[in-house]
Structure 1
Amino acid sequence: MHPILRITLSIFGTLGSYGLFLLARYLYRETTSPLNKLPGPPNPSWIHGNSKELQDDELDVTQTKWVEEYGPTLVFRWFLRKRLYTQDTKALNHILMSSYNYQKPEALRKWHLRNVVGSGLLVQEEDEHRLQRKVMNPAFGIAQIREMTDIFVDESIHLRDIWASQVGPANSPVRVEIRSWLSRMTLDVIGRAGFNYRCNALDSTEPDELTKAFSIICEMSNRLTFWDILQAVVPVLRLFPSTSNSAKKEAQAAMKRIGRDLLWQTKEYLSATGEKADGRRAKDLLSLLVRSNMSKDIPEQQRMTDEDVIAQVSTFLVAGHETTSTTLTWALFAMTQKKEIQIKLRKELLQGDIACTPFAGIPRVAMKDDFIPLSTAYTDRNGKVHNGIQVRKGDTISVPVLAVNRSKELWGEDARDFKPERWLIPGGIPTAVSTIPGVWGNVLSFLGGAHACIGYRFSLVEMKALLFVLIRTFEFDLAVPAEEVVSKSSILHRPQLKSEPEKGSQLPLWMKLYVPL
């Protein structure tokens, strides 16, 4: 036999044996999984599982139907794997507070998120996450966020003035696609407040280099193909590059280069001014982070490397940009559906919360065999009652953020109503929601535990500043029938129009200046 043919057969034989080993391991794990006991929806596809139902879902309609039929704790299939789903707050507390035992899936961290934010805080787990968060925490304190309020207000006024200039003669309503404008506004905010960088997104028709690179990475990351998922699950397939990966790498290189320049400028400024550093230049998140990283309170071996600090530039952009603009978009949509609330809010603002979330849910993976306690027992497929769930190392759990925020079992029959006064009146918040492990407002929007959103105060103050300025100035009405607006999920739940899916995410509103009677 020819040597080349012998080598080729040997390679294919080895790959075939390895493939059979993986298949046998997969089948053994599937047939012996303790999750098989849980109730759940039927599996419509051996390959896709229930993933298409969820990807085509509007908000959490599919998950709500599952909960109504199978109870708050169930199992469904996400492609080739089972995934535990639970709205049980005792179980969610156990999962979110045990950050070392329940982590982001490795494929999500090391393949998907790292392509977007490098080695930033969103990617890290265990001790590295704890150390990075310890260094970053001082930048997100109450006093530090208060110092940034002027930026939030300035950019809100900037957007207000642009919109006001578009209002027609005699204050005739103008149609505005608000989602893209809000995205540009929050990009300008995070540029200035994050690292003293002017994106000028509100004024420019062409994005600057950083914005363009960031947009390329996010757009490609939001368009997950079956090949992308296979590459994430099967590492060996990452040896075969795709066009999108090449474009991502070019954009990442540009972001790293700009991040390096920003870090160098920040270090130079702080080095020149020392303890006297003051003013806006010394109070952006990057400057505060660098100063904290240089603090004598941080041992040398626990300080972040320059590469780690640079990675936070991408992290700030991801965490402080689209999430906030998407939430603001849904907030304004809600106020067009209940005009009396818009009017009441305007009246209060002129005289002197809403449980939105851009995320439908987040996955976690068990890092060891564990028992998850439940506050509500479930009955398995054999009719046996259980007060907890046995999970094995490697099992995936879905933390249903949106579903918990809208759960009738927790919030009552009006859970899906836009009712901000529930946070204002005594007894407006049901006792049951006190068990939700969120860091703010008895909702799960900012998560809880060690991985709770470090910038939740930043986001809240920014949203309040924008709503304060816009609601005082404009009256908003939906420019299309309400049934036209649907929510489509990639990483975030963004609004789309049923009749114009090719245009992607958008929300057109009629807008006119508010004129007091």
Structure 2
Amino acid sequence: MLASLLQGIAICSATWFLWKYFRQVFVKSPLDNIPGPAAESFIYGNLRQLLDKNGWGFLKSLESYDGVVKLHGPLGHRMLFVFDPTAMHNIIVKDQYIYEEAAFFIKSNLLNFGPSLLGTLGEHHRKQRKLLNPVFSIAHMRRMIPIFNDVCLKLQKALESRIDGNDMVEIDMLSWMGRTALELVGQAGLGYSFDPLVTDKPDDYASAIKLFQPVQAEVSLLRRLVPYVSDLGPPAFRRWLLDMFPHKGVQQLKSIVDVMHERSLEIFQLKKQALEQGDEAVAHQVGEGKDIMSILLKANVEASDEDKLPEEEILAQMSTFILAGMDTTSTALSITLTILSQHPEVQEKLRNEILEASKGEPLEYDALVSLPYLDAVCRETLRLYAPVAQVFRETREDVVMPLSHPIRGVDGKTIHEIFVPKDTVVAVGLLASNRNKAIWGEDAEEWKPERWLSPLPGSVTESKIPGIYSNLMTFLGGGRACIGFKFSQLEMKVVLCLLLSKFTFAQSDKKVNWVLSGVRFPTVGNSPKPSMPLKVGLYKGPVPA
């Protein structure tokens, strides 16, 4: 009797599994009428092309469609790639709790960072964001400027010592931008110094952080399996399973996450101890208590019981701040310096604006944000070379997706809105939106800072792109927009001001490849190691008095 019952349960379970994961092969869907490319294979669909480290060409081909593209997911599942502005508004703003973060993203971030902003959903995420939002206010950002300037002056001295009287020296600027961004987020974000920017190599922690994205790119397909194993058995069993998993990338990622967690725990204990000892102890720490984490800890102590976050979640935010604050900003700065090396006339014009305002000295907040050409260069770089190319969402229920303009279906009929079934994976094309010719014009793929020095065309303002920053999707929008985008903008501007007032940048002779990943990164030749060599020299021109 028991054997028959167990056999019945096994058959029912197997049948349910097969139906759940293969029904899309046999059941017709309204998504079948959306145009899109053919699948690469039944097993992978188009997913491997979408995640390929050299997949820029495939991404570009999707932009030839009319804002919404049907893709094939693994095992016959259907996906959508979306860059239509109205559809994006519904995905990340209006219906954001229907189009939630993909399960693999949430589950893998829980494993990597703990229950931080990147690893929580719904009310849990909103509660965290409510406490964190005031910490990133303009008033607090103003206080960061002296810290930013101090760190960047150390960077100036470090690069000057490497040039040591030579005309031009080839320097890996990605490494220095990564170290600088880590020190900036360390001092201004956590009140902790990671790297004095003196030695030729970063410490092990900085190296581990910079390897996070390249290693994660190697396991991008395996990440899709995380939701099915992350709750398997007790934590000790899952750790044993992870230790035994025969994959180099998985083991590297495990080591990186361990290093991040240990350092975050160390910093957290120091911050907590200083806070318990009172204001005098806090004032003696790096940042003198003006850093984001000190402000957050104080706000959490003063918060009501219902708004207070447990220590586990505060600790998780630290690892998230470190990685997000370092990786995207260092990439954006490396891209900007590369583009300026390719456009010496723009580099000279920007340097003149900076020197005219600064007279070679660090700028205060109001002067920094009042430089129009610097702002234009930053905006245009973040538009055309967004560090994050796409994000993924999954529908938690059936939903209708409206479009900004009709598209032509496979059957030739006009489509004004799309019925999207529950459990559909939707890739939001951030980069595709930023360079959409229907919105930005025929020169959308050209890097032209001047476009920001006059009013944007009506096609941009009228499209109502839901991005939080300057009609761009670079920092996302809605309830999951990048909470630290103002922090990142200030970092970029301070670093560029102090570098361009002291140095000139020219292209290296080495071939650089940009790898498509969660956050893009450059490599040289066939090496998998992140690197961005540039020729750097001292600026010898006049400085306005």
Name the TM-score, length of structure 1 as normaliser.
0.88
Q: CA 1:321–1:11 in structure 2 vs 1: closer, same or farther (change >3 Å)? A: farther
Q: Does 1:402 align with 2:426?
A: no
Matched residue, 1:321: 326
Q: CA 1:226–1:67 in structure 2 vs 1: closer, same or farther (change >3 Å)? A: closer
Q: d(CA) in 2 for partners of 1:433 and 1:420?
A: 21
1:153 to 137, 149, 153: 149
Matched residue, 1:335: 340
1:444 to 473, 476, 479: 473
Report the 3-state secondary structure (helix = DSSP H, G, I; strand = E; otherwise coil) of the residue aligned with 1:496: strand
Q: Cα distance, 1:139 vs. partner? A: 1.1
Report the 3-state secondary structure (helix = DSSP H, G, I; strand = E; otherwise coil) of the residue aligned with 2:534: strand
* Count of residue pairs the alignment pairs up: 502
Q: CA 1:99–1:156 in structure 2 vs 1: closer, same or farther (change >3 Å)? A: same
Matched residue, 1:82: 78
Matched residue, 2:447: 418
Matched residue, 2:42: 46
Report the 3-state secondary structure (helix = DSSP H, G, I; strand = E; otherwise coil) of the residue aligned with 1:302: coil
Q: Cα distance, 1:210 vs. partner? A: 4.9
Q: Does 1:469 align with 2:469?
A: no
Matched residue, 2:290: 283
Q: d(CA) in 2 for partners of 1:443 and 1:248?
A: 31
Q: Does 1:495 align with 2:492?
A: no
Q: Does 1:100 align with 2:97?
A: yes
Q: CA 1:400–1:329 in structure 2 vs 1: closer, same or farther (change >3 Å)? A: same
Deviations 1:485-514 (A, max 9, x none): 3321121111233xx222432221111111
Report the 3-state secondary structure (helix = DSSP H, G, I; strand = E; otherwise coil) of the residue aligned with 2:70: strand
1:386 to 415, 426, 431: 415
Q: Does 1:362 align with 2:391?
A: yes
Matched residue, 2:307: 302
RMSD (Å) for aligned C-alpha atoms: 2.9
Q: d(CA) in 1 for partners of 2:24 and 2:175?
A: 45
Report the 3-state secondary structure (helix = DSSP H, G, I; strand = E; otherwise coil) of the residue aligned with 1:265: helix
| Contact 2:170 2:508 survives alignment (8 Å) | yes
Q: d(CA) in 1 for partners of 2:131 and 2:354?
A: 37
Q: d(CA) in 1 for partners of 2:275 and 2:415?
A: 58
2:102 is matched by which residue type in structure 1?
Answer: P
Q: Cα distance, 1:23 vs. partner? A: 2.2
Q: Cα distance, 1:33 vs. partner? A: 2.7
Q: Does 1:118 align with 2:114?
A: yes
Report the 3-state secondary structure (helix = DSSP H, G, I; strand = E; otherwise coil) of the residue aligned with 1:442: coil
Matched residue, 1:3: none
Matched residue, 1:513: 538
Q: CA 1:60–1:386 in structure 2 vs 1: closer, same or farther (change >3 Å)? A: same
Deviations 1:1-22 (A, max 9, x none): xxxxx99x99999767644432
Q: d(CA) in 2 for partners of 1:96 and 1:345?
A: 35
Q: Cα distance, 1:214 vs. partner? A: 4.5
Structure 1 segment 178-193 matched on structure 2, within 5 A: 178-193=173-188
Q: d(CA) in 1 for partners of 2:6 and 2:71?
A: 37
Q: d(CA) in 1 for partners of 2:322 and 2:458?
A: 33
Q: d(CA) in 1 for partners of 2:129 and 2:116?
A: 10
Q: Cα distance, 1:215 vs. partner? A: 5.6
Q: d(CA) in 2 for partners of 1:207 and 1:57?
A: 26
Structure 1 segment 117-266 matched on structure 2, within 5 A: 117-167=113-163, 169=165, 171-200=166-195, 202-204=197-199, 208=203, 210-211=205-206, 214=209, 220-224=215-219, 226-232=221-227, 240-241=241-242, 242=245, 252-253=257-258, 255-266=260-271
Q: Cα distance, 1:158 vs. partner? A: 1.5
| Contact 2:131 2:300 survives alignment (8 Å) | yes
Name the TM-score, length of structure 2 as normaliser.
0.84
| Contact 1:99 1:126 survives alignment (8 Å) | no
Percent of aligned positions with the same letter in both sequences?
Answer: 30
Deviations 1:153-194 (A, max 9, x none): 22222122211122254x421111111111111111111112
Report the 3-state secondary structure (helix = DSSP H, G, I; strand = E; otherwise coil) of the residue aligned with 1:457: helix
Q: d(CA) in 2 for partners of 1:215 and 1:496?
A: 12
Deviations 1:40-89 (A, max 9, x none): 00112111222333344657432332332x32211112433322112110
Q: CA 1:11–1:509 in structure 2 vs 1: closer, same or farther (change >3 Å)? A: farther
Q: d(CA) in 1 for partners of 2:196 and 2:337?
A: 21
Q: Cα distance, 1:374 vs. partner? A: 0.4
Report the 3-state secondary structure (helix = DSSP H, G, I; strand = E; otherwise coil) of the residue aligned with 1:291: helix
Q: Cα distance, 1:236 vs. partner? A: 7.9
Q: CA 1:390–1:120 in structure 2 vs 1: closer, same or farther (change >3 Å)? A: same
Q: d(CA) in 2 for partners of 1:291 and 1:512?
A: 44
| Contact 2:113 2:261 survives alignment (8 Å) | no
| Contact 1:213 1:251 survives alignment (8 Å) | yes
Q: CA 1:60–1:404 in structure 2 vs 1: closer, same or farther (change >3 Å)? A: farther
- In structure 1, stretches of 5+ residues that fail to align are 1-5
Q: d(CA) in 1 for partners of 2:208 and 2:458?
A: 43
Matched residue, 1:35: 31
| Contact 1:67 1:73 survives alignment (8 Å) | no
| Contact 2:87 2:404 survives alignment (8 Å) | yes
